[in-house]
Chain A
Amino acid sequence: MGVRTLPLPRLVAGRDYADDMVSTLGPVVGQDVVVDATKLLSGTTSFAYQLIERLLAEEKANSVLLVGAPADFAEYATSAARELHVTDRFDLAEELPRTAAAS
């Protein structure tokens, strides 16, 4: 079971953009995905919901760890996980795990 890292840019918005970003990862079935939001300044609810829905509900990633996100975006993503009933596979962190930081 591998770990994939998805770095987010400074600004993210829109469901289509979330789709585009997830597509860059290729298949993530059964994998742990680290979403690196340490550079993120602002992100919208629509992007957050689509990101979580695509990764956990549609692409069947094993888990998503959202790292370093601004408070609002972390809240949007957490709400998305709750409404999609995938909170057991979603978590937040302040810093990148060593494996993801090194990759």
Chain B
Amino acid sequence: MPASRRLQSLAVQLADDDFVLDLRGLSWLDPLHLVGAAAIAQRAAACGSRLRLSGLRGNQAGYASRMHLGAIVDHFGGSHDLPVNGRELDRSDSLLEVTELATAGDVRHLSALVHDRVADHDAEIAHALHTALAEIGANVCDHSGTVGFMAAQTLPSQGVLRFAVADAGVGLLGTLASQGAEDDRMAITMALSGTSRRQGPGHGTGLPTAVTVVSRLGGEVLLASGSEVTTANARGRRHAELASGFAGTMFEGWVPVTAARHGSPTLYDWAG
């Protein structure tokens, strides 16, 4: 499915001064949607409003609850119709529930956590996850001006492992306008090419490195900010316009995981 369509469901409506997010049209709920919804909940609270989340049913609602989306929405004063304590202890389909990251220490801890949950199973994927999550998470702390959210999940039916980071901060254009970015697409392109608000050796290398390590494994990254989304893999980049913009920045990476790897108990049996 095209990236722009996947993100359509995160369109926010305003009703009685509340932020309303209706996810009923969503065919597949990914970590990207979960962290995006969490960031919207945080933005609503920061604006003195609240998020009303609705539309998820059945397995999707149970999954969102297990991934702690309901708890995040509650934390930011919003409301939702997700089941409470639904199989809360069954985290077999997650690598990392939706988790807030506010400091460099949070980023280091969470990226290490995900690394260690995958390392026994596949060292190369673990390295890619650690690198990408640590670099993108650091960008959130350094540039967004707010907190971010991180989540990861294996999807045996798709043969992939997906991970995502989102924040409702200033966005890439807000960060890179001082470096010459004139619109969202240009800002995304500059970020993927290594431009940073901060000058000097090594600044701006995190995002291109994340793309490199994910692409090397045959995966792909998605970067969305404002009204634009770009996907990048070993073959190149694809840009698209979002029907409804996202106030902030979303990053997603996925890497292929073979059926044999999914069969490994180490990828699932970490909660005990």
Contact = CB atoms under 8 A, between A and B. Distances in A.
A14 B106 CA distance: 11
A13 B139 CA distance: 12
B104 A45 contact: no
Task: Pick from A45, A48, A70 the residue with the most CB of B within 10 Å.
Answer: A45
A45 B127 contact: no
Nearest to B207: A45
Given A42-B131, A45-B209, A11 B115 contact: yes
A49 B202 contact: yes
B181 interface: no
A72 B201 CA distance: 17
B201 A13 contact: no
Interface string A24-45: 0000000000000000011011
Contacts of A53: 201-202
B111 to A, nearest CB: 6
Contacts, number: 69
Contacts of B187: none
A95 interface: no
A42 B202 contact: no
Contacts of B213: 72
Interface string B104-119: 1001100110010001
B202 A46 contact: yes
B130 A16 contact: no
B104 A49 contact: no
Interface string A41-76: 110111011100100000000000000001010001
Given A41-B115, A80-B201, A17 B104 contact: yes
B112 A11 contact: yes
Given A13-B107, A83-B202, A42 B115 contact: yes
Contacts of A17: 104, 108
B130 A45 contact: no
| Interface bin, chain B | 20 to 34
A49 B202 CA distance: 6
Contacts of B119: 41
A21 B188 CA distance: 33
B20 interface: no
B134 interface: yes
Contacts of A48: 202
A14 B104 contact: yes
A93 interface: no
B138 A14 contact: yes
A46 B135 CA distance: 8
Contact of B108 (A14, A45, A50, A83): A14
Contacts of A42: 115, 126-127, 130-131
B123 A45 contact: no
Interface string A69-90: 0101000100010011000000
Contact of A45 (B112, B115, B206): B206
13 contacts: A11-B111, A11-B115, A11-B130, A14-B108, A14-B138, A41-B119, A41-B127, A42-B127, A44-B209, A48-B202, A50-B202, A80-B201, A83-B202
Interface of A: 11, 13-17, 41-42, 44-46, 48-50, 53, 70, 72, 76, 80, 83-84
